[in-house]
Chains A and B, each alone.
Chain A
Amino acid sequence: MRRRLTLFWVLFVASVKMFVRNRLAVFFSLFLPLVIMLIFGVLNFEGGGSVSVGLVDEADTQVSRALVGAIESVDTFELSTGDRQSELAALGEGERDVVTVIPDGWGEAEDGPPLTAYVAASAQQSGQIGTLILNALVAQVLIGEQGAGVGPLVAVETVNARDLGYIDFLVPGILGLTIMQLGLFGVAFGFVQMKRTGALRRLFATPTPAGYFLSAQIASRLVLGLAQVGILLGIGMAFGLNLVGSLALLLAVALLGAVIFLGMGFAVAGWAKNEDQAAPVANVISLPMMFLSGTFFPRDAMPEALRGVTEFMPLTYLNHALRTIANEGAGPAEIGGDLLGMAVWAAIAFLLAVRLFSWE
């Protein structure tokens, strides 16, 4: 047993060295996602974790002015005021996270029109914080003025806004992308090379069963993948990422995703005779997913038909699950659909890998 562990450890260390010294594999699977993330992160650097709030006071009463005063005193808010039309336009452009409209007649009667908060869909994190604070402020102001409980305080409306670079949206997508690249390219390139040169045959000439080397290779990819997830999360936080959900669940989902794409990588590596065959196939698998699985921008923006087709891609499930955990703090039950889809893909990839894999 001890000897087996030593052997596994030696092969694991060798596998890690092989990977990190292979510039092509490192570039595509680790460096590229990092660069993409840095570029998007810097372009959309927002700083401070503040919530950008647009305020429209159409009531202009004593009560509404009291609320405006309360809102102005909140440090977290980066406040701008204007009329409904211009503020909603700014929201659509991604310049506001939340636009609050105090309608005419607000606060004068208990059944009067509610205060409305328009939240950008791409800024739900900030939007949630914003509406929470608004709710508290409205309750405070109204209770102070009327001394009684009131109905719905703030009506929340989600608005689709363009805000591609928002770090909370981007980071989970980049995580998914990294996992895909690491599995697909990290395995496909490395293993095909070992097959072509005969290095795998050379291992087969020793009395050690091939499974040791295979499992060490898989383990090294999983560990490197998790390390990369950690690095990307760290950088994301530096850019103001709010990780709402459980880190453990996030890593577990990342691991399940890695199993899918490692399986696909081994299937490609098993089928291909050399790198020239492996590269196009790996690209054909990864490129559509990179752009259609909600990595860089929300899939809501896609045409209906395309959305239907891409809904069942493995990276779509992975990205959605990671994003729902990171942004909304979802538990396992809330991402059950994604987990099911990923489990099915993992099974498919595993079967393909077993069928197609060969040592020579």
Chain B
Amino acid sequence: MTEQAIRPAVVAGAPILVVNDLRKRYGSLQAVDGVSFEVAQGEIFGILGPNGAGKTTTLEMIEGMRPIDGGTATVDGVDVARDPRGVKARIGIQLQASAFFDELTLVELLDMFGQLYGREVDELALLRDVELDEKAGSQVRTLSGGQKQRFSIASALVNEPRVLFLDEPSTGLDPQARRHLWALIRSIRDRGHTVVLTTHYMEEAEELCDRVAIMDRGRIVALDSPQRLVDDLVGRGFRKERVERLANLEDVFIDLTGHELREGEA
């Protein structure tokens, strides 16, 4: 990867998220080493990178979950270092799917999270948005993996966030559930929320993201739309050894097993 792939990390419309020279050091490890980018309102923005590249640390600093060593992050005009709670009030964060109190029902949890944001919540409407209204009175532990993911997104929407942060949202899901989740994320964006997500799946990034930042060793090494990044690579003379097949194994899988969600077990 070369520097040529990085285009100016500034967007045309009014940016809702501005990150400037963000830094974080753990002992001798510079986990985040001068990261800068902007995200426009209504974008789906992806952060890619191998494990340990600094994706999660970057997100956590932006979210006000981790102290910032250097640089600034501004969400909807609020500086996170100055007013972390102001930022937390404006964003929605989806953490691991397990991160809920097992003994409470979905409605009880959404009600509680609403209170934590100082809001009255229409729990059933939120659950309908993620197709979990039938599970309203169930406890979280009875949900399947995909249902838990969708519920964790619903819980991140209780405060009508300006920016929704999703950390590896489709990890552990089967292909059907993953496609289902993509459709949900698109519909959330279509309702005016900005989405920032991390992922290990390149297919997911290509499918969903308007733009992606690729991180390695604490730095952004490329930032553009997926198509432009591919075009750049091809323009520099890169060719795959084998020409891309017209379909891949996942297409076969989906063709054989259908798009229908499987949530009976798990």
- Enumerate chain A interface residues (CB-CB to B < 8 A): 3, 6-7, 10-11, 14, 17-19, 21-22, 193-194, 197-199, 201-209
Contacts and interface: CB of A to CB of B under 8 A. Distances in A.
Interface string B109-124: 0011101111000000
23 contacts: A7-B115, A14-B101, A17-B103, A18-B104, A19-B103, A21-B103, A22-B102, A22-B103, A194-B101, A198-B99, A199-B100, A199-B101, A201-B65, A202-B93, A202-B99, A203-B116, A205-B93, A205-B95, A206-B113, A206-B116, A206-B117, A207-B89, A208-B117
A11 B115 CA distance: 9
Contacts of B101: 14, 18, 194, 199
Given A197-B98, A202-B95, 16 more contacts: A14-B104, A14-B112, A17-B103, A17-B104, A21-B104, A22-B102, A197-B100, A197-B102, A198-B95, A199-B99, A199-B100, A201-B95, A204-B65, A205-B63, A207-B85, A208-B116
Most chain A beta-carbon contacts within 10 A, residue among B63, B93, B101, B115:
B101
A22 B104 CA distance: 10
A276 to B, nearest CB: 17
Contacts, number: 70
Interface in B63-78: 63, 65
A3 to B, nearest CB: 6
Contacts of A21: 103-104, 139
Given A17-B104, A207-B116, A10 B99 contact: no
B88 interface: yes
A17 B139 CA distance: 12
A21 B140 CA distance: 13
A204 B115 CA distance: 14
Nearest to B86: A207
B21 to A, nearest CB: 24
Contacts of A14: 101, 104, 108, 112
B104 A198 contact: no
A204 B85 CA distance: 10
A203 B115 CA distance: 11
A10 B117 contact: no
A104 to B, nearest CB: 71
B51 interface: no
A6 B115 contact: yes
A314 B86 CA distance: 44
A95 B96 CA distance: 62
Contacts of B99: 197-199, 201-202
Contact of A205 (B65, B86, B102): B65
Contacts of B155: 202
Most chain B beta-carbon contacts within 10 A, residue among A3, A197, A206:
A206
Interface in B132-158: 139, 155
A343 to B, nearest CB: 33
Contacts of A11: 112, 115
B115 A202 contact: no
Contacts of B98: 197-199
Nearest to B155: A202
Contacts of A198: 95-96, 98-99
Contacts of A193: 102
Contacts of A208: 116-117
B105 to A, nearest CB: 9
A76 to B, nearest CB: 50
A193 B96 CA distance: 14
B172 to A, nearest CB: 14
A88 B89 CA distance: 76
Nearest to B118: A3
A201 B96 CA distance: 10
Nearest to B63: A205
Shortest Cβ-Cβ A-B pairs, 7 listed: A198-B99, A21-B103, A206-B116, A205-B93, A202-B99, A207-B85, A207-B88
